[in-house]
Structure 1
Amino acid sequence: MPLWLDLLRTPMAAPETTGLRRMRFIWQGLCLTTAAGAGLFGPFHRAVGRYAPMTMALLLFVCGVWTGLYLLRKQRADTAYLDSLGETE
């Protein structure tokens, strides 16, 4: 069997649960908010004042922590799913 067909037939990820879907949507929102905040930092700084840098630092921190948590949960779900299929590495 060609490699591409073997890879096509191999399950790559677990089905997404409601909790993981919620985490992914929150993560995407955090990433978009961080990008918008960085891109519009000048107007944001003029509107908020001296709290703008602290707000952006907090947003970056939360985005980084949430990314780590999401990736950890996603990896665990994928591993458990593949283990249940009997196709571990």
Structure 2
Amino acid sequence: MPLWLDMLRTPMAAPETRFLGWMRHVWQGLCLALAAATLLFAPMRALVGPVAPGLAAGLLLLTTVHTFIYFRVKGRADNAHLEAVGEGEECA
């Protein structure tokens, strides 16, 4: 069987739980907020003054930490799902 066909038949990710869905939405929101803060930094600095760099740095730190946590949890869920699917195929 060609590799592309074998990969097409292989499930690549676990079904998304409610918690993982929530984490994904939070991660997407943080990424969008960070992009907006980066693009609109000058107006934000004019609006809030010297606090703006601290807000941007905090948002960057929060996004980075959440990214690592999300992808670690997602990877574990995917690996557990692939192991369960693999075990199910061996028994069948």
Uncovered stretches (5+) of structure 1, i.e. residues with no partner: none
SS in 1 for 2:50: coil
Q: Deviations over 1:26-72 (max 9, x none)?
A: 00000000000000000000000010000000000000000000000
1:20 aligns with 2:17: no
Distance in 2 between residues matched to 1:77 and 1:6, nearest whole Å: 21
Task: Tell me how many residue pairs correspond in the alignment.
Answer: 87
Uncovered stretches (5+) of structure 2, i.e. residues with no partner: 88-92
Q: Percent identity?
A: 55
Distance in 2 between residues matched to 1:38 and 1:86, nearest whole Å: 44
In structure 2, the residue matched to 1:43 is: 43
Distance in 2 between residues matched to 1:35 and 1:85, nearest whole Å: 38
Normalising by structure 1, we get a TM-score of 0.94
Question: What does 1:53-64 correspond to in 2, within 5 Å?
Answer: 53-64=53-64
Distance in 1 between residues matched to 2:71 and 2:81, nearest whole Å: 15
Normalising by structure 2, we get a TM-score of 0.92
CA RMSD, 1 decimal: 0.9
Task: Identify, as 1 or 2, the structure richer in helix.
Answer: 2
